[in-house]
Amino acid sequence: MARGYTSAKAARRKARKRKGAIQARKKKIFTYRGYTLEQLQAMPLSELAEIMPARIRRTIKRGFNVEQERFLQRLRSGKKAVVRTHRREIPILPEFVGKKIAVHNGREFVEITVEPEMIGHYLGEFALTRKAVKHSGPGVGATRSSKYMPLK
């Protein structure tokens, strides 16, 4: 018999239970298409374009326009804590990670802290332009019974 248990079967059951116990999870390392964040940040822009989705690859290959270049310069200078922009079509690059960007949604500036999972998307995807509809009760005249409701 093993370790004072009543049977070998009970000892095996106890060993299985110990083996199946919850282990401490390892922190998952971020990768984008097989590259770590440090590798992505070290890459030149032309090499980075090759692993980006097609639309972003085309934007990078054609070159950024004047407003996009100005935004990149302001972001790289790091003078301001939050960089504000109306340019929603700027692709999120690895150098943006950890920075705060305020993107205009048509009415106000929505502040975004760029995280590694956002790489390969556009700034505008994280500043929604429409609000979710929250319906209340029906208005006056919407139903037959509401026709006879006294107005307050």
Domains of the chain, CATH where assigned: 29-126 (3.30.860.10)
Instruction: Pick the closest to residue 88 from 75, 99, 100, 104 (CA basis).
Output: 104
Instruction: Compute φ and ψ for 100, nearest 5 degrees.
Output: -105, 130
Q: Is the pLDDT of residue 2 over 60?
A: no
pLDDT 10s digits, 35-78: 999 999 999 999 999 999 999 999 999 999 999 999 999 999 98
Residue partners of 22: CB distance under 8 A and separation at least 6: none
